[in-house]
Amino acid sequence: MRIKRLSDIKAKAPKVYESMEDSYTYTTRLSSDPKKGNESYAELVSVPKSIKKGFITISGGQMIWELDLRDTRYGLDLGSNKAIIKSIRIELEIEDEETDEIEDMTIEIDGSLINFEKVDVKIGKLPLFLTSLVIDMENTDDKSKWRYSLEIGDI
């Protein structure tokens, strides 16, 4: 097939948009003692009585999250969500105050349970890595009521 006019070429070319929307997904390891390795700091506050039976240590876990970047004609810009939590798994060691026994517990949070109005994101300087995660459990077991604070980058 021979193309004779410039308009025929344009009709067959794929559409190119001036603005792209991309999100970059990251998996970050969590710990209450990030000096152990390359983990990010994690903390639980206002822990409900059903969990807090003694001293709590976050021994491990991971968070899968996305950085909401927009490619504009001026460069990269943060989208309205800044960061989106896809899932969180936190492994706890709970030391019973009375018996000194250590109980292991895992908390899993699906991103669909997270109300994004309750996610506070602070963005620092490059490189943009998860510096810390603080989960305010609001003294309830209802994960949809929890508040999340993320610090990303060098703050």
3-class DSSP state for residue 71? strand
pLDDT value of residue 133: 97
Q: How far apart are CA 129 and CA 69, in angstroms?
A: 14
Q: Which residues, including other chains, have CB under 8 Å from residue 130's CB and lie 6 or more apart?
A: 26, 28, 40, 63, 65, 150, 151, 152
3-class DSSP state for residue 38? coil
pLDDT value of residue 40: 92
pLDDT value of residue 17: 38
The per-residue pLDDT for range 32-58, each reduced to its tens digit, is: 887 766 789 999 999 998 887 788 999
Domain boundaries, the chain: 31-61+89-154
* pLDDT tens for each residue of the chain, 155 residues long: 444 444 444 444 333 334 344 567 899 999 988 776 678 999 999 999 888 778 899 999 999 999 887 778 888 787 777 899 999 999 999 998 888 899 999 999 999 999 889 999 999 988 888 999 999 999 999 999 999 999 998 87
Contact present, 59 and 91 (Cβ < 8 Å): yes
pLDDT value of residue 27: 93
Residue where the block lists tokens 């003692």: 33
Rounded to two decimals, the pTM is 0.80
pLDDT value of residue 53: 76
pLDDT value of residue 102: 92
Contact present, 59 and 98 (Cβ < 8 Å): no
Q: How far apart are CA 131 and CA 28, in angstroms?
A: 10
